[in-house]
Structure 1
Amino acid sequence: MASRLTEAQQDFVSAIGTFCRREVGDRERRAKLTEHGPHSRELYRRLAELGWLGISLPEEYGGSGQGMVDLVLFLEETGYWRAPITGFTTTIIVAAAIEKFGSAEQKRALLPAVANGSVLAISMSEPGAGSDVGALTCRAEKRDGCWVVNGQKTWCSNAHIAEHILLVARTDTGGGKHDGLTMFVVPADVAGLTMHSIDTMGGKEVNDLYFTDCALPADAVVGTEGQAWGQLMAGLNLERMILAAVMLGTARRAFDDTLAYVKERRQFDRPIGTFQALRHRLADHAVELECTRLLVHDVAEKIDEKPGKLFPREASMAKLKATEFAKAMALDGMQMHGGYGYATEYGMEALLRATVVSTVYGGTSEIQRDIIGKTYGL
């Protein structure tokens, strides 16, 4: 796949790898960076100084205006090196929505801040509305020239480290369940909003949000009132490709770590990788890894060729393939590591924790399969 990259893109990947190898590469350094959670503000600030956090933002807002392929390369490489920058994924999703639908004032306020290291979060899911986002009931009502929000949100990634949250709330109940939804920009410290972290096997990543008479100004609306569903659909390519790219990088890391281990570990007077049972499994994983890489990069190229077009089938395929393979690779890597796969010293258990949730967030594998099937008229 590297042969299809331009010289500038190859240099870009090399620079990311050099940076991550130096700043994140060893276990002790990474442990220090993640001491307070899976997002390192210290590392994030350094990436901002290099200009990489604005990779997909327009130049007028401090970004470099690069396309989907370049974003995928950045996410894949940082995913490979397990860079603790979990806030980046939701930030780029929200930034794209602001760029496409936000007011001039919202763009000026938020987009340059993203390039400088500001973290953004997006809040859609509710206790009764997960895969079925259209079933959400969190309500925003007009009162005295402002919007007042009441209700609960859940599974909101990175809200606890975000400066602003993109909220999707119901503003009208008169139409269908996909009608009457509106996007709002919410300062994370606004009165009337409280949040509680949800304990997970991945650490402090997601949160419950509680809105109690939370007042937002009239200009907090992003895009068109009542049209949030269509605005959300416009961002599906990006969200799915972000997740696919991160998991592609994570799968590469699980493969490389497993390959290195089976070459080094000896039992019965020979490296365990020379036994056919493991050699054939690694061969199968190598084929799957290359198929996944080709798919993810190909879809990214298609999006760059036609940036205004939705690719529901292709983006869902990329997300489905990358997340399912990453989980399978990490699980089998843990098995081939034997007892050491369970030990934090080797890191395979951390890769398993990182991948096992990837088939759930951003649209479950079941939802991706359903979307793909529907594109074939099923």
Structure 2
Amino acid sequence: MEYNDEQRSLVAAVQDFCRREAGSREQRLALTDAGRENHSPELYRKMADLGWLGMALPEEFGGGGAGMVDLCLFLETTSKAMAPIGGFTTSIIVAAAYERFGSPEQKKVVLGGVARGAIEAIAMSEPEAGSDVANLSCRAERRGDEWVVNGQKTWCSNAHLAERILLVARTSGRAGDHSGLTMFQVPTTAAGLTVSGIDTMGGREVNDLYFTDCALPADAVVGTLDAGWRQLMAGLNLERLILASLMLGTAQRAFDDVVDYVKGRRQFGRPIGSFQVLRHRLADLATEIECARLLVYATAAQVDRAPNTVLPRETSMAKLKATETARRVTLDAMQMMGGYGYATEFDMERLVRSSIVSTVYGGTSEIQRDIIAKTYGLHEVSRDSQ
């Protein structure tokens, strides 16, 4: 993939910033409450001031109007630097939904806010509806001039940091139907909403949301009533490529770190990187990373050429390849580092944790494989139809 001068300058600027502001482990621990948080408001504000958080948003809302390739470069670079800006991922996904479907006032508030450093979250998953989005049961009912929400959401990333949550709730039909889903704008300060953190290996990242007679104004609807499923599908290109780009950066960071380690670590009188078994293993990992990078950026370029075209096969392939590659690279790197790869005083164990969960969120690897297979006309056949 060839990049233009502006893109190369962007990568160089982001690398330099991250090196100065979060280049050492000590700096990152200070910014993240000793690693318990994945987001630093201080670092995020500085990036907002530089215009990077709104780079892919329209200029009329304070953005830079950049394309998907540019956004992927920013994401890969910040991920490789381990910059603690976890709030950016959900914010840019939510902003894209408002850009497509929001009212003029909603766009002004949300898109302008994201460009200035506000954090947004999106709530889809429920205890009985993860990969099966059609099974959503959290319901919003119209009562006079309001919508009243009752139900539970789970695994909601960054809700504890966000100003607003983009809620996907059922407004008609029954669980199991893709129709009857609607998007709502919910302030995190809304009465009747409780945000409860879920402890995970990654620290404070995700939350349970409990809605108890949570009243929203009539204009809280984002887009078209009962069209939430279609609106969700329109954002798949962005979401999958964002996650793929992040894991490219994670894989590259793990690879670079383990290469440095095997060059310096000596056993039996020589660097362990000189042993053929490790040299060949690292050659394979480098090849896999480059394959993933070519796929991600080729797909991003395709999105830039046709922004309104949904690419289920290509984006699922990119997400699948990048996340599975990151998992393989980090786990192999941990093993090559031995006990040091497992110790919390080194970065590798955190890279492992990040890569493992990437094959779950945003559609599991199994879901991505199923989507890819369906694009080739391969559908599951029930026994009754055989």
1:346 deviates by: 2.1
Q: State the partner residue of 1:322.
A: 322
Deviation digits for residues 176-227 of structure 1 (CA, Å, limit 9, x no counterpart): 6101000000001100000110000000000000000000000000000000
Q: Give 1:157's aligned amino acid.
A: S
Q: State the partner residue of 2:382.
A: none
Q: Alignment partner of 1:162: what SS?
A: coil
How many angstroms apart in 2 are the aligned matches of 1:258 and 1:92?
Answer: 31
1:370 deviates by: 0.1
Aligned pair 1:10/2:14, yes or no?
no
Q: State the partner residue of 1:24.
A: 22
Deviation digits for residues 310-360 of structure 1 (CA, Å, limit 9, x no counterpart): 110000000000000001100000000011001122211010011110000
Taking only aligned residues, the RMSD between alpha carbons, in angstroms, comes to: 0.9
How many angstroms apart in 2 are the aligned matches of 1:127 and 1:46?
Answer: 37
How many angstroms apart in 2 are the aligned matches of 1:187 and 1:341?
Answer: 41
- Listed as ranges, the matches of 1:190-269 within 5 Å are 190-269=190-269
How many angstroms apart in 1 are the aligned matches of 2:299 and 2:160?
Answer: 32
Q: Give 2:32's aligned amino acid.
A: T
1:243 deviates by: 0.1
Distance verdict in 2 for CA 1:321–1:61, change over 3 Å = same
Deviation digits for residues 58-86 of structure 1 (CA, Å, limit 9, x no counterpart): 00000000000000000000000011011
Distance verdict in 2 for CA 1:146–1:26, change over 3 Å = same
Q: Give 1:290's aligned amino acid.
A: E
How many angstroms apart in 2 are the aligned matches of 1:175 and 1:282?
Answer: 47
How many angstroms apart in 1 are the aligned matches of 2:289 and 2:261?
Answer: 18
**TM-score, L = length of structure 2:** 0.96
**TM-score, L = length of structure 1:** 0.98
Q: Structure 1 residues 275-284 or 342-351, which shifts more?
A: 342-351
The runs of 4+ residues in structure 1 deviating greater than 6 Å are none
Deviation digits for residues 29-87 of structure 1 (CA, Å, limit 9, x no counterpart): 01001116111000000000000000111000000000000000000000000110111
How many residue pairs align between the two structures?
A: 376
Aligned pair 1:130/2:120, yes or no?
no
1:362 deviates by: 0.2
Deviation digits for residues 274-306 of structure 1 (CA, Å, limit 9, x no counterpart): 101101100100111110111111100010011
Q: 8 Å contact 2:7–2:70 — kept in the other structure?
A: yes
Distance verdict in 2 for CA 1:271–1:110, change over 3 Å = same
- Listed as ranges, the matches of 1:1-378 within 5 Å are 1=1, 4-35=2-33, 37-173=37-173, 177-378=177-378
How many angstroms apart in 1 are the aligned matches of 2:360 and 2:222?
Answer: 27
Q: Alignment partner of 1:205: what SS?
A: strand
How many angstroms apart in 2 are the aligned matches of 1:184 and 1:119?
Answer: 16
Identity among equivalent positions (%) equals: 67
How many angstroms apart in 2 are the aligned matches of 1:214 and 1:112?
Answer: 26
Q: 8 Å contact 2:137–2:174 — kept in the other structure?
A: no
How many angstroms apart in 2 are the aligned matches of 1:175 and 1:281?
Answer: 47
How many angstroms apart in 1 are the aligned matches of 2:14 and 2:245?
Answer: 15
How many angstroms apart in 2 are the aligned matches of 1:286 and 1:209?
Answer: 41
Q: Give 1:169's aligned amino acid.
A: A
Q: Give 1:107's aligned amino acid.
A: K
Please list every run of 5 or more consecutive structure 1 residues that lacks an aligned counterpart in the other structure: none
Q: Give 1:132's aligned amino acid.
A: D
1:100 deviates by: 0.4
